[in-house]
Amino acid sequence: MKRFYIVSGFLLISSIVFGQTLDDAVRFSRVSATGSARSTAMGGAFGALGGDISTLGSNPAGIGVFRKSEVTFTPSLNFTSIQSGRGAIEKSSFQIGQLGAVFSFYSPNFDWKGINFGINYTNLNNFNQKLEQLVENSPSSFTNVWAYNSYGIAPENLPDMGSALAYDTKLIYLSDDEETYNYYSVLEMLDNETGNIVTLPVNQHKITKEDGYQGEYAFSFGTNYKDKLYLGITLGIQSLYYKMKSNYLEAPEADSPSGLDYFTYDEHIKINGVGTNLKFGMIYRPIPQVRIGAAIHTPTWYNLSYDYEAYMDALYLGIDPAIGRDEDAYSFTGATSFDYNMRTPWRAILSLATVIRQQAILSADYEYVNYKNARYSDNSDNYDYYYENMDIEDLLRATHNFRIGAEYRFNSVFSLRAGYGFQASPYKHDTDHYKIQSLSGGFGLNFGVFYCDAAYVHKYSKGTTVFYSGYNPFADAYFTAAPIMNKYNTNEARVTLGVRF
């Protein structure tokens, strides 16, 4: 099976062609530090505290802190809003944020104070969002990309599905000298004043809808030495389901000399699979008021399936026998599917927390993730993913992420919590965009056997996307569609219900 790609240069590209891109590597490697409502309210900064089921997926040593068994369930409501120049588009979803149990066998009379086991499901990513984007009077066209990609290649061997569909729908066509396999866009015209070929201005509109989730089943084991040293290990099994549907429309001005009225290009992508990883952690209490934590997460090794469908149709104002267009309308569909492997980056977490008079908690996590270490590899057809992995190596970078949280217990029943999180941009050439900041807060009610926690978190980020990017071999230069600024806002409410026994 042949994959198709475009080297992206220094640009973040939005759905250029089908196949694995560095954006997918980021999307599936960049997970949230959430779980229970208590952890969420404190910004996910729980690496040095333990005693909360969310630590099974962050620092598994936290399971050793439990002295009682418990079962917890966390439903969540998610609201996303994306501003992209034409007003905000909102979308909501309900998900299981967390569901699990810890079984504690605490023995206070021994130095090694028992062993604890835990199993937990956590929703790591919510992909549900919708985006609408518009570019008016663009000086370039998607058809330019398909024409330049096809240079020197016979029609039956066109290098990507977009180019093949564009050729079939007469959006690109061969020059008179067919032996050179030089393709032109239907929107390219000769400028009589300059003698150069120019592209007629077009209006571009795209709607993208994404759905899916990324979840992890954590199977954890932990122990406790003298209530000072806590050790833990987690086997993580991740499930991934991602679906994207996009509709791209491009139209020149009315009565365009190109003869084109408009064309549409629809893409449907589905990615699903399973991955495994290991996590190792420790927590040390040098004095009762201070806790120090550290954790290492191995990469998640994924086996994934990729399904792609594309549909293109074009409507013309009339026929043009000179370029082989003998009909007013064309429509064609293409599809492909294959399996592949993906490896996410390693990550390391250092944590520090202080507990003041068993009443107040201050906690901080530092996380290091080097996205350059993500990799694709073959699972079915001996494709080497050289160009995709080179893009990851050249365009992504290591990040330093931070989380801080606080909790104050007014009495044995009621607690207030707050937190802040920062995830740096993984893109080397766009460090100001795609960083994620979060503010969170919540409260807890502890009734002994039963407890209830609530949290609310707001996440904000912004970034630029483009509809396409390409390389002009005649000018020896890259070109791109106009960048579009997007602002992403996510609001999420979580409630955790727990029972201790």
Question: Are 497 and 446 a contacting pair, CB within 8 Å?
Answer: no
Residue 31 lies in a domain: yes
Does residue 410 fall inside a structural domain? yes
Residue 19 has pLDDT above 60, yes or no: no
Q: Which amino acid belongs to residue 83?
A: Q
The token pair that represents 294 in the structure block: 């550290």
Q: What is the pLDDT of residues 104-121, one digit of tens each?
A: 998 888 999 889 999 999
- Residue 108 carries which DSSP code? T
Note the pLDDT tens digit of each residue in 393-452: 999 999 999 999 999 999 999 999 999 999 999 999 888 889 999 999 999 999 999 999
Residue 157 buriedness (CB in 10 A; 0-12 / 13-18 / 19+): exposed
Domain count, the chain: 1
pLDDT of residue 13 exceeding 60: no
DSSP assignment of 460-496: EEEEEE-S-EEEETTTTEEEEPPPEEEEEEEEEEEEE
pLDDT classification of 11: cutoffs 50, 70, 90: very low
Judge whether 385 lies within some domain.
yes
pLDDT in tens, 241-274: 999 999 999 999 988 888 999 999 999 999 999 9
Q: What is the DSSP string of 246-277?
A: EEEEEEESTT-TT-EEEEEEEEEEEEEEEEEE
- The DSSP code sequence of 292-325 is EEEEEEPPPEEEEEEEEEEEEEEEESS-BGGGTB
Say if 11 falls within a structural domain: no
Q: Which helix (H) or strand (E) holds 240?
A: strand 229-252
The domain that contains 287 carries what CATH number?
2.40.160.60
Contact indicator for 259, 320 with CB cutoff of 8 Å = yes
Pairing of strands 347-356, 360-370: antiparallel
Q: Which pLDDT score is estimated for 264?
A: 98
Rounded to two decimals, the pTM is 0.89
What is the domain range of residue 84?
22-500
* Residue 8 scores a pLDDT above 60: no
Distance CA 350, CA 385 (A): 33
Cα–Cα distance between 131 and 484 in angstroms, integer?
Answer: 11
Mean pLDDT, range 72-89, rounded to an integer = 88
Task: Give the Cα separation of 133 and 185 in Å (integer).
Answer: 23
Residue 16, in any domain of the structure: no
Look at residue 68 in the predicted model and tell me its pLDDT: 94
CA separation, residue 124 to residues 216, 306, 457, 466 (Å): 7, 20, 15, 27
Task: Evaluate whether residue 12 is within a structural domain.
Answer: no
In a domain, 395, yes or no: yes
Angle between helices 22-29 and 386-395 (to 10 degrees): 70
Q: What is the pLDDT of residue 431?
A: 82
Would residue 376 count as lying in a domain? yes
